[in-house]
Structures are given as structure tokens and as C-alpha cells.
Structure 1
Amino acid sequence: MQAVEEIVYDELKTEKNLDDKTPRELFFNEHKDLLKDAKEWMKDTSNSCMVVATLVATVAFAAMITVPGGNNSNTGLPILAREKLFVAFSISNALSMVSSAVSLLMFLSIQTSRYTEGDFLDSLPKKLLRGLLSLFIAIATMMVSFGTAIGLSLQTRLNWSYIPITIIACVPVIIFTWLQLPLLLQAIRVESGPGIFQGQRDLKLWSIEKIGCSLLAYDRV
């Protein structure tokens, strides 16, 4: 509807039909069922993603408390703090915790939204995109944290075994990513893509500019 409004004359936007309804009023009245279905879908999607974000945040928090190798009984510092893998573990785990918290807040804001027509136009798609991006980052960094933790635990013996263990543990995450990736790509496409009437809008602007140049040339003559 907005795409059409951008290419029609202003007086047509408020013109009323035989039922005394403007185009906007008629559009909203004819799409009540669509708004209801979209509200239910948005709630179900955000609920599912909130569960995953909560699990990731819980795992990241627990992993930071019980670090691989344990802590020194005298100083309280991690025993493997000087290892390079421990630095990677700490950074990835912190990123996973922060990203999952951001994702959880984004989906929580979707749950508390008013679900009006204007929200579906701008606010809700942006929140959904940010929440999904944060969730994918949280999951990816969680698996990096898991792999480095396995590597730290088995570096003294069987130092090669953490590779197949990490690959096997990544299978559920890969399945989740594969299932939710189309939704993320669709959200990115909607937010960044051109309007459905981009060509007509450009043609209209070109026509106005052409007419203006013609009038200016005629006035000079």
C-alpha cells in the first residue's frame, strides 16, 4: 500500500469510495485476518527464539563460572589462563553471553509490542532481524567456546580428539541454523531490498524532471 501511495497523486490518498472509506481505511479493513495471522506468527517465532537464546545465555554463564582446568586454590585465578586457547575461550564465551542477552531483549520487545499496522511496517521487522542476527552470533560463538574448552581439557593427552567431538556437537546447531537461515535471509531482503514499485517510482521522477526541463527550455525561448 505504501509503495502505491508513493507513485499516485496526493489527492487520491484521501479520496473516498462509495462506502465512504479512504484507501488506507479500506486496506486495513480488508486485511484484518492477515494482521491476526501475522501477530500469531510473530509471537510463536519470538517465543521459540527466546527459548534458544535463554539456553545459550545459561550455557555461556555456566561455562564462564566453571572454566576448563579449574581455578587455583590460592589465587582463585584460572589455572590455564596463560594458554592461547583460554583467551579464545573467554572472548567467544563473552560474545555468546552478550549476543544471547541482546537477542533475548529483542524478542522480548516483540512480545510486548502493540502489534499495530505501523509496527509490522517498520518496528517489528527490524526487531526480528536484530534478534535473529544476535541469536546466530550467539550460537556461533557458543560453539567456538565449546571447541576451545574441549581443546583445553584434552591438550595434555588425546589432543586430536576434540576435533571430532566438536564436529559432532555442532550437528544440532547446524540443523537449527539451516532451518532458521531462510527466515533471516528473508528479513534481510525485506529490510535492504528496493520497493516493489521502484521502477515505476523512478519513472515518475524521471517524467517530472523531463517535463520541468522542457518547460524551462520553452521559457528561455
Structure 2
Amino acid sequence: MKVDDLGFQVHQAVFEAVKRGNVEFVTEMIKSIPELAWSRDINGRNIFFIAILNRQEKIFNLLHGLTDARKMKVISPLDRFGNSMLHLVAMLAPSEQLDGIPGAALQMQRELQWFQEVESIVPPLFKDLKNSDGKKASEVFSQQHADLIKEGEKWMKDISTASSFVAALIVTIMFAAAFTIPGGNNDKGAPIFLDDTFFVVFIMSDSISLFFATTSVLMFLGILTSQYAEYKFLTRLPKKLIFGLSLLFISIAAMMIAFCSAIAILLKNSSIEGVMIPIISLASVPVITFALLQFPLLHNIFKFTYRPGISNRKIQQVLY
């Protein structure tokens, strides 16, 4: 086998490892052959260009393990289509990468996070640089992600519509419950069980449920009437959804507590007091069900919104 053929196969193996995200193999190869960090494929793209195009976060972070001079050497080139590193991150991620993120809105959020991260490391003039098609990176991003924005908008609105319906129903129930208190009123209009501890719990939980559900309705309404611009998918819309779902969960839990308190007021010291415990136990079912159904969604939104960004500066210790 010729040396050139061997070198070609080594390069191909490294480029394929980058596409697959095999960071251990790529790291060892760059340590052994530092020139691999800026060698290019047939399209004029080095391993970091390919990592960005394929959204391989760990491979991309190897860039921070290079010296400043080498880092600039891998950041500054253009591929044979006139695309900079910023143009490549502006292109839509491969479907296998997007499919690992639940929900179109979170997929759009991740794409924005990638774009911002690469934008922070390239020279400022790259923002206005045009490729062979005469397009800036921001224009490529808008064009490539137009469909994903529409899908993200529909995803957010579907969740908000369903959640606001539940929250509005809770508002109606808890508002009515506040004026039909358990045990009724005496001749002076005061609640009969005013001094009962369970009655205090009932009023407190009813109020909390009513106020939190009302606030969640307003949050979901804000999502439904929002302008779905690209940048709003980064933090504004996800934070509204986190806040709305969290308040809805609290309002459901408070509603069940109010129900249990009302049952306790009516059944305590009665001949059927024994049924109070199973009834109260069953009241936890809606809360647990909501948590099981919505917690994974809430967890994912929180994780993708508040977790550390793409960049990992600790990788500086890997390469030299």
C-alpha cells in the first residue's frame, strides 16, 4: 500500500469518526498527528467544520484544546462553496440529531444555541460574510429553519391550548368552591367551621389553586399570542412554558388538598369517618398522573433551557 493511500485512509477514518462523534479516537489521532486538526476533505472542510455540520458537541469542543494560533487556523478557512464555519452551523442539523430532542420548539432552541456558540468564536466580520450563493450566515439560518419554526410554533400552541383549558377549568371550580364552603354559613353569614383547622387549610389551598391556575392561564395566553420570532425560541418561550406548567401542577395539587380538607370537615366525628382515609388517598391519583405525564416534558424543557451551553472550556487540558 502506498504512503499516500495510507494517509488518505487515515484522513477518511478521522472524518468518519467525527461524523459519528467518536471523540476518543479523534482526540488520540490529533495528539499523534496534529496536522489532522486543519486538514480538509474534498469539500474543503476540516474536522471542526464537519463536527459543527453534524452537531457533534464533544468533537467541536476539542477546538478549545488548541493553541490560539492553531485555533484561528481551523476557524478562518472557507469551504469550496464559500461557507464559513458560521454558515455551516446555520444549516439545519441532520435528522438523527434533531430526533434525539423532544419537540420542535426544543429542537429550534438547540439550533439557536449552536449558532450563538459558533458566532461567539468566529471573527466578527464573518457575520456579514457571504457565501458563493450570496447569502450571509443569518440568512442561511432563517431559510434552513423556516419549517422548523412553524413546527415549533404549532408544538408550543398545542401544549398551551390543552394546558390553558385545564387551568381555566380549575379556575372555574375553585372560584365556585370559595363561595360554597363546606358546612355552610351561620345566621350572621360567617362560616360554621371558621375556627376549624381543616377549614383554614381548605381556604388556603383553594386560594392558592385559584391564583396559580389563573396565572398559568395568563402564561399560556402569552404563548398563544406571542410573535414566534427565531430568537424567542432560545429562552423566552421555553421559560413561559416552564412557568405555566409548573403553576398548573401546583394548582392541581392545591385543588386536591382543598378537596381533602373539605372531606375531612364534613366526615370527621361522623359514623363514616373511616372512609375519609381511602378518599383522601385517591385524591393523590390526579396529581401523580399529571406528574407522570407532564414531568418528562417539563424536565426536558428545563434541561435544554438552563443546562450549560455547547462550549466546554475544560477540554483545554485534552490537547496541547
Aligned counterpart, 2:246:
133
Greater Rg by CA: 2
Q: 1:59 & 1:118 partners in 2: Cα distance?
A: 37
Q: 2:222 pairs with 98, 104, 109, which one? A: 109
Q: 1:95 & 1:130 partners in 2: Cα distance?
A: 15
Q: 2:191 & 2:202 partners in 1: Cα distance?
A: 12
Q: 2:157 pairs with 43, 52, 77, which one? A: 43
Question: Greater helix share, 1 or 2?
Answer: 1
Q: 1:196 & 1:170 partners in 2: Cα distance?
A: 39
Q: How far off is 1:127 after superposition?
A: 0.8
Q: Does 1:123 align with 2:236?
A: yes
Q: Does 1:34 align with 2:148?
A: yes
Q: 1:24 & 1:154 partners in 2: Cα distance?
A: 65
Cα contact 2:127–2:137 (8 A) shared by 1: yes
Q: 2:144 & 2:200 partners in 1: Cα distance?
A: 57
Q: 1:192 & 1:38 partners in 2: Cα distance?
A: 19
Q: Does 1:16 align with 2:130?
A: yes
> Percent of pairs identical after alignment?
44
Letter in 2 for 1:125: P
Higher mean C-alpha deviation, range 1-10 or range 97-106: 1-10
Aligned counterpart, 2:178:
64
Cα deviations by residue, 1:73-95 (Å, 9 ceiling, x for unpaired): x2111100100111111111100
Which consecutive unaligned segments of at least 5 residues does structure 2 have? 1-114
Letter in 2 for 1:184: L
Higher mean C-alpha deviation, range 3-12 or range 80-89: 3-12
1:93-104 equivalences under 5 Å are 93-104=206-217
**TM-score of the pair, normalised by structure 2:** 0.60
Q: How many residues align?
A: 202
Cα contact 2:208–2:251 (8 A) shared by 1: yes
Aligned counterpart, 2:103:
none
Partner-residue secondary structure (3-state), 1:21: coil
Aligned counterpart, 2:307:
193
Letter in 2 for 1:28: S
Q: 1:141 & 1:8 partners in 2: Cα distance?
A: 50
Cα deviations by residue, 1:89-125 (Å, 9 ceiling, x for unpaired): 1111100000000000000010101111122122211
Cα contact 2:234–2:305 (8 A) shared by 1: no
Q: How far off is 1:203 after superposition?
A: 6.3
Q: How far off is 1:42 after superposition?
A: 0.6
Aligned counterpart, 1:90:
203
Aligned counterpart, 1:218:
none
Q: CA RMSD in A?
A: 1.7
Q: 1:2 & 1:153 partners in 2: Cα distance?
A: 59
Cα contact 2:160–2:220 (8 A) shared by 1: yes
Q: 2:201 & 2:126 partners in 1: Cα distance?
A: 60
Q: 1:156 pairs with 266, 269, 278, which one? A: 269
Which consecutive unaligned segments of at least 5 residues does structure 1 have? 207-221
**TM-score of the pair, normalised by structure 1:** 0.86
Highest relative contact order (Cα 8 Å, sep 6+), 1 or 2? 1
